[in-house]
Structure 1
């Protein structure tokens, strides 16, 4: 490696979200506050306490992928493969034209291929082991998206998967940045999660954090006095990360830079020590070499659980001051996509930088006690050069990532 500073930039984005398939459809929906949350259609949900989700409709994997891949992949992997195709095309990258060991894949996962696993277990219980697909050996696994993306695109460089629940999407991007700094030319990163099936639904209900409201407009309300849990969703974003010098040399369009990252873990309950989110923010800002005053917007984690909202609001106001920075949680239009949520927020932040628009936190009436300048109602026009994205995982994961305009 040379002594020059290695900057990691994003050159391609592939989005699969409940309110939009593809970058253009998603951004148009997000700008105007169009929600993708509705009553579950993927399985009969009437007997469950929670019946709303952010589902991706009008996606037929057969329209995008070779038939041989369909029987060996879960829905999340099919979405991830297609989002990767879109991201590579957006970046103007043909993997066949690059050396295999110059490309890697780092994704995150919080659930693995739940729906595929459910189907094969049902076959095991009802028909016997001889009816279980050999693909069950990997289709359910947390690392399967990284594996299938790398195989499909001939990517043999540094690869992996990060499992840290809903913080994992940022952690994966940070690990991808490390690999770029070590000399890998291109890394496919981000996450797609999809576990809207009976088995996955029961697992999510066990967290006691799901909203049981049947009103799609008032079900997921972070920083609202009526907050009572989140609405799950499926999807996320895949990003193409490159060494800036290599990207510029090939004439790539650059969305922005992955400029800083910080992560912490909350202390055990009863320890007397405070939560770690504020420290994660401070680490990310220091890593990026920016001050709080230079941050133009914060994309909040937005748990919609009163205690967790309080902790996040206190961390933000401690760093930026009361109402010191615009805050938004556009995931109110998609639901929480688990490990896919934070990469989608990063993609949204980069689009906000490009367009000069901060999307709104829809349907929320912000509680004044939190002291946040929450962007609600409609999108806010603003110059966005630097954005901070926050994500938290169950049982104490905290991550923060700074993205900034290129140039």
Structure 2
């Protein structure tokens, strides 16, 4: 291996609030269909924030063997199922590949919160004898990587990245590194699900949740009415391969290439130093050998916090010029899915390249002063060869990823 091998995406597995499965998600996203509504997984009436992007209609026992259900959190059940879908989409049977030639690298933001809450309730109300032994790992950040690798016999380089929403891109970049070192195939991406009282309080502590009770007006990035984000559950898992590996096995499709990546960390507050987001974008473009004018669409982080929106808008206009590139935020239909958000945006970017459309942002009236060409309301037809995905995690994490057609 030379370290310059091309890493491509051959399979997608998606679970999102506005669609289960890649086809369902993409159809809903293209049509501007939202999955945001009032929380149903618990009673949110005593909390300031009451809206979320929940995945409706997912029944784990319809997709997974019964033995896995008592030992897994909802996020892991979604991850295992999405990994199965990604393998099916890629036309890969892991059992037919050498076990050390396959790895799993995922991102996680919260771990198995819902499972953990249930077991803590048992501890407090009934005592330690009533706590499941599976609690020892079901809550853990690395559990999705572990369970996927065990289920499919994948014993190559594996791990987990924890950097909030930026982690989804960081995991894909780490997967690309392992492929460049010789691993033939890596399942990568992110899946989060922490819509439970314990997870809810933890999210509210970040002071970025929208308290609006109107699903159509709650999450409005780049809008004068921006008031914070709506959280959600889900994400995407992708099958990544070295291009030669994919062609040698006769892959049924190649969605595109993971072409460039950059990451930075913001300076401490009060330092007087500029945010690191623009540098992350510039690093990703340089890594891809791509000029700004070659990027056809930007999938925005879309924090919906005025100061963070301003920083992102200045980054985009600083690199591409005022209204110099189409920008979209399809997460306005799902909420921010934490570690799952950016891989879902990467999946959407690859589908946009395939179908020649920019999916819309919904409900948003962008401020003119931001200078963004934000695609709103309905999709836009366009020839797309390269896309940039931006993600930021709370704590100052910044990541950017370039995907392009092969």
TM (norm. structure 2) is 0.99
Determine the structure 1 residue equivalent to 2:303: 303
SS at match of 2:104: strand
Shift of 1:4: 7.8
What is the match of residue 43 of structure 1? 42
The within-5 A match list for 1:247-286 is: 247-252=246-251, 253-286=253-286
Q: Partner of 1:7 in structure 2?
A: 6
Question: Which position in structure 1 is the counterpart of 2:170?
Answer: 171
SS in 1 for 2:273: coil
Contact conserved, 2:389 with 2:400, CA < 8 A, in 1?
yes
Report SS of the residue matched to 2:103: strand
- Matched with 1:388 is 388
- Determine helix, strand or coil for the equivalent of 1:173: helix
Report the equivalent of 2:365: 365
1:5 is displaced (CA, Å) by: 3.4
* Residues in 2 aligned to 1:293 and 1:58: alpha-carbon distance in whole angstroms: 42
Deviations 1:151-208 (A, max 9, x none): 0000000000000011000000000000000000000000100000000000001111
Cross-structure match for 2:79? 80
The Cα shift of 1:385 comes to 0.4
**Other structure's SS at 2:346 match:** helix
Residue 249 of structure 1, CA deviation: 1.2
Alignment of 1:178-189 (within 5 A): 178-189=177-188
Residue by residue over 1:46-101, the C-alpha shift from the partner in whole angstroms, topping out at 9 and shown as x without a partner, is 11100000000000000000000000000000000000000000000000000000
The count of aligned residue pairs is: 405
- What's 2:405 paired with? 405
What do the CA deviations read for 1:246-268 (whole angstroms, capped 9, x no partner)?
10111111000000000000000
User: 1:143: which partner in 2?
Assistant: 142
Structure 1: gaps of 5 or more residues:
none
Match of 2:34, SS state, is coil
Question: What secondary structure does 1:217 align onto?
Answer: coil
Give me the whole-angstrom Cα distance separating, in 2, the residues matched to 1:171 and 1:58. Answer: 30
**SS in structure 2 at match of 1:216:** coil
- Per the alignment, residue 90 of structure 2 pairs with 91
Separation in 1 of the partners of 2:372 and 2:365?
12
Structure 2 contact 3–181 (Cα < 8 Å) conserved: no
Does the CA-based 8 Å contact 2:3-2:180 persist in structure 1? no
CA displacement 1:375-407 (0-9 Å, x = unmatched): 00100000010000000000100000000001x
Once residues 377 and 121 of structure 2 are traced to their aligned partners in structure 1, the CA distance between those partners, rounded to angstroms, is 45
> Counterpart in 1 of 2:155?
156
Given that 2:109 and 2:164 are in contact with CA atoms closer than 8 Å, whether structure 1 keeps it comes out as: yes
Task: Map Cα deviations across residues 237-292 of structure 1 (whole Å, 9 max, x no partner).
Answer: 00000000010111111000000000000000111100000000000000000000
CA displacement 1:76-127 (0-9 Å, x = unmatched): 0000000000000000000000000000000000000000000000000000
Matched ranges for 1:316-327 at <5 A: 316-327=316-327
Please give the alpha-carbon distance, in whole angstroms, between the structure 1 residues aligned to 2:366 and 2:313: 11
Cα RMSD after superposing both structures: 0.6
Matched with 1:343 is 343
